[in-house]
Amino acid sequence: MKKSSKDFNRIVEEVKNKASLKQLIYRNTLKSFKQFKMIAQEMVTSLKEESIGSDADVAIEFNERSGFEFEMKIGGDVLLIYMHTNVHAFERNHPMWKTTYIDKENDRNYCGVIYIYNFLADSFKYNRVNDIGHLIGRVFINKEQHFFVEGRRQLNFLFNDFINQKIELKYIQSILEQAILYSMSFDLTVPPYKQSQYISVGELLQDSSTMRIKTAKRLGFKFSFEPEE
Residue range 51-73: mean pLDDT, rounded: 88
Average pLDDT of the chain is 83
The string of pLDDT tens digits covering residues 101-142 is 998 999 999 999 999 999 988 888 888 777 888 899 999 999
Q: How confident is the model at residue 213 (pLDDT cuts 50, 70, 90)?
A: low
List CB contacts of 37: < 8 A, sequence separation 6 or more. Answer: 64, 70, 81
- Residue 145: phi, psi to the nearest 5? 65, 20
Letter for the amino acid at 130? Answer: N
pTM above 0.75, yes or no: yes
The string of pLDDT tens digits covering residues 156-209 is 888 999 999 999 999 999 999 999 999 888 766 566 667 666 666 666 566 555
